[in-house]
Amino acid sequence: MESTVNQDKTEVGKLSLSRISLSERTRGTNRLFTITPNKTETDINGNISSKTVTAEEWKAISGEINKINLDEISSYKSPTTKRYSDAALASVMVIEKDGKTYTSEEFDAGNPPQELKNLYQSFQTAAGIKKGGK
């Protein structure tokens, strides 16, 4: 199947970004934020809620993902280690694109690897995550 590329660099007629999630956890707290093209689902300690994702939010996330070498995402190093002593939530980003799953190294919530910083910020905006929690 031949694919074409739109001006916003999204491909038509081919698999593309289907889901991105952010898991944040520590003792006593489990948070999972999942964004798909249509909605954001938030699960905080078993309390699940959802909201609609705007086309602009999805486009911002997709654009940031297109700037990342997904094959290297698991090698991006966290700049801090506060999660080792429960001083920060341990976070992991998982990206599902083109039928493959890409998982980041664990990092402190609020302080992702430099390579993921812009994606992390776009994700937080779309998911409605505020500093210090939802």
CA 41: distance to chain centroid?
A: 12
Q: What is the pLDDT of residue 1?
A: 35
Domains of the chain: 4-127 (3.30.1560)
Mean pLDDT of 116-133: 85
Phi and psi dihedrals of 129, rounded to 5?
-85, 130
Please choose, from the candidates 106, 103, 115, the residue with its C-alpha nearest in 3D space to the C-alpha of residue 80. Answer: 106
Please choose, from the candidates 130, 119, 132, the residue with its C-alpha nearest in 3D space to the C-alpha of residue 35. Answer: 119
Q: What is the pLDDT of residue 131?
A: 60
Q: What is the pLDDT of residue 81?
A: 96
Mean pLDDT of 88-104: 96
Model's pTM, two decimal places? 0.83
In three-state secondary structure terms, 129 is: coil
Dump strand ranges (E) for 1-134: 4-5, 11-12, 17-26, 29-35, 39-44, 47-52, 90-97, 100-103, 107-108
